[in-house]
Amino acid sequence: MTPAYKNLCAKLGYTFKDETLLRNALTHPSQDRSIQERGDKKVSPYERLEFLGDRVLSLLIAEWLYEIYPLENEGELAKRHASLVNRDCIAEIAEGLSIADCLQMVNAEDLRRGRVNILSDALEALIGAMYKDTSGKDGAHQLDGLRSIIAALWQPFVHRAAAPQDAKSALQEWAQGKGLPLPEYRVVNQSGPAHAPTYVVAVQVKGYEAIEAQGSSKRDAEKKAATLLWQKLVGV
């Protein structure tokens, strides 16, 4: 395994049992001498893994959104899903993994011109390879590990897309979705002159540690505190 491959696997937190799958996922069709011809068509292991990874990613992202947004309807979930599985988002994650350093291609100029598409395809192929690599002798797949990898990679993006504008409402919805009482707010401190007061407000959801924030008004401090607690609870 090359140093670039080792670095990629370290970033993923995943070790391949079948390194052939890893190589296939990172060998662009332009470089793959093992492509088999079927009549007038060519069968590319890379493209087959890309096809599989695209579907696996879509499912795991959909499942994740379903769990962390219990009060959103189908349309809202669909918008979030679309923003997380589009090529720009996938390519940005691929950049963070330095997939370009591992990708085998004939022409580096092709990568420069079509970088977003190529990197997003490569990451999908890599996901397909990890999915196949988890397959047991009976054909069953262990998805827990792959779920964790996808969640870790997409964590910085999951709440950035279509994030709620009203943090207090978002926090309330989160608590209700967990079957918990409404968040409680309390003024911890008020200081400063009457024309320019400063408020410190604490907010708490039952069973979780309270968080404080400071604002120029009670409402402002409550909003900031709600934002901080909501971000902590959903793992932003």
Tens-place pLDDT, residues 151-201? 999 988 887 654 455 778 878 878 887 888 999 999 999 998 887 889 999
What are the chain's domains?
3-158 (1.10.1520.10), 167-234 (3.30.160.20)
Q: Chain-wide mean pLDDT for the chain?
A: 84
Q: Is 215 helix (H, G, I), strand (E, B) or coil?
A: strand
Q: Is 32 a catalytic residue?
A: no
Q: Average pLDDT in the 204-221 region?
A: 91
Q: What is the mean pLDDT of residues 102-116?
A: 73
- pLDDT at site 163: 45
Task: Note the pLDDT tens digit of each residue in 129-155.
Answer: 999 998 765 556 678 889 999 999 998
Q: Read off the DSSP letter of residue 167.
A: H
Q: Percentage of the chain surpassing pLDDT 70?
A: 85
Query: What's residue 165's pLDDT?
Result: 55
Let me know: does 21 contact 12? Beta carbons within 8 Å.
Answer: no
* Coil, strand or helix at 179: coil
Mean pLDDT of 208-236: 87
- Dihedral of the CA atoms 52, 5, 11, 79 (nearest 10)? -30
- Cβ-contact 213, 228 below 8 angstroms: yes
Among residues 32, 50, 72, 124, the one annotated as catalytic is 124
pLDDT at residue 213, as a whole number: 93
Contact 186, 202 (CB under 8 A): yes
The predicted model gives 84-89 an average pLDDT of 88
Tell me the H-state helices in the chain. Answer: 3-12, 19-25, 45-68, 74-84, 87-96, 108-113, 115-133, 144-158, 167-177, 218-234
CB 186 within 8 A of CB 81: no
Handedness of CA 13, 19, 22, 23 (dihedral sign): positive
pTM above 0.85, yes or no: no
| 88 pLDDT above the threshold of 90 | no
DSSP 23-87: HHHTB-TTT-TTPEEETTEEE-HHHHHHHHHHHHHHHHHHHHHHHH-TT--HHHHHHHHHHHSSH
67 is catalytic: no
Task: Please pick, among 32, 47, 54, 121, the residue that the annotation labels catalytic.
Answer: 54
Buried b (16+ CB within 10 A) or exposed e, 111-122: beeeeeebbbbb
**Segment 84-97 mean pLDDT:** 91
Is the pLDDT reported for residue 32 higher than 60? no
Q: Answer yes or no: is pLDDT of 214 > 90.
A: yes
Residue 100 has pLDDT above 50, yes or no: yes
